Structure 1
């Protein structure tokens, strides 16, 4: 594909959209760690230097995808049925809806330790502001269904969702060697352990916050 520089704002936005859509498609095929900027650029049909005209870095592209996935998940949470005051049901809705979004979970798990390590101050300022807005939105959604919580407690829960997901998700996709040993040991699979751990962890977190309130 012959590269033609996007000059008008709508052309720039279209080029950015193409890059993000391509990154999202690749992330649904394999993990973040397995995707290089060169591969992504080749799939888009641009040189690496041209991709970097639109984004700070490979990591910035993936953080933009995370931002999109985060917002889409919160839309789902907002629409999900969960009776007001049913604390365990609210926490379970959050956990189960999140676990259905494999890409979101993977990007959350790599956010602080990997993806935020190679971005500029300007991009970090924009991304962290959006992340704060997403966290605050989840806190508001939880408070609407668990009115006994104050703002600080709801924010604590929303942040705990990120921390638990980041900690548990890497265990959901073990290597074949580890999976074989887990089968030999018996019991739950890695995916089941992550699902049970996140659901139980969020239920306990929310129940505890309600008890303190």
Structure 2
């Protein structure tokens, strides 16, 4: 680490931050978030832990930034899919659930956001992250409201928030231990990934049906 050179120009800072984020994504694809330490992340990047902290407040801030980028990319992917979907609660819920199931890294970070990642960040970074999160939630709400204008801005915002809450609740069950997975197979239960999609679809569909019914 002795040859570390601090990035001084804006483009150098951007490149160094991107290298850290790219490495964080690589590690998340290999193991659960709970098993990734800041020291391991630093070693993989090739920097001392103190040098990584020059660019991010904490390990949690690194992964919140990853979450924001994955969330934005997911919305980019989802938008044309929802545009083609019929304005039917089950159809829209199915599209959202299937799309999320195809983004396991995003689901992993959503499940850790409130209970882990937001617990070790500064006020300054919390402002940045929450501002970005609000922007993304508003974008999802607008997509859904185009299908169901009757639910209004408040209802669409509630639905966007419920997506995160339901994913956070269901995702841990989609990654059972080997022992639990074996017992579920012995009982003839659907696989955990299948249960995740089914549970998410049903939860989101029920949210939409309830919002539409109450608005009507």
Q: Which runs of 4+ in 1 moved over 6 A?
A: none
Shift of 1:147: 2.1
CA contact (8 A) 1:82 1:90 kept: no
Shift in Å at residue 84 of structure 1? Answer: 4.8
Instruction: Output the CA distance in 1 between the equivalents of 2:45 and 2:153.
Output: 43
Q: How many Å apart are 1:87 and its aligned residue?
A: 2.3
CA distance in 1 between partners of 2:191 and 2:92 (Å): 25
Q: What corresponds to 1:87 in structure 2?
A: 89
Instruction: Name 1:127's counterpart in structure 2.
Output: 129
Unaligned runs of 5+ in 1: none
Asked if 1:58 corresponds to 2:55, the answer is: no
Whole-Å separation in 1 of the counterparts to 2:47 and 2:80: 39
| Matches of 2:69 and 2:125, distance apart in 1 | 15
CA-atom RMSD in angstroms: 1.1
Please say if residues 82 and 145 of structure 1, whose CA atoms lie closer than 8 Å, have aligned partners that are also in contact.
Answer: no
Task: Name 2:32's counterpart in structure 1.
Answer: 31
Kindly state the Cα deviation for residue 83 of structure 1 after the two structures are TM-superposed.
3.5
Deviations 1:59-111 (A, max 9, x none): 10000000000000011111114345222211211111111100000000000
Aligned to 1:208: 210
Task: Determine the structure 1 residue equivalent to 2:77.
Answer: 76
TM, length-normalised to structure 1 = 0.97
Among 115, 118, 137, which residue is 1:113 paired with?
115
User: Shift of residue 149 of structure 1?
Assistant: 1.9
Once the two structures are superposed, residues 166-198 of structure 1 have per-residue CA deviations (whole angstroms, 9 ceiling, x without a partner) of 000000010011111112222212221111100
Unaligned runs of 5+ in 2: none
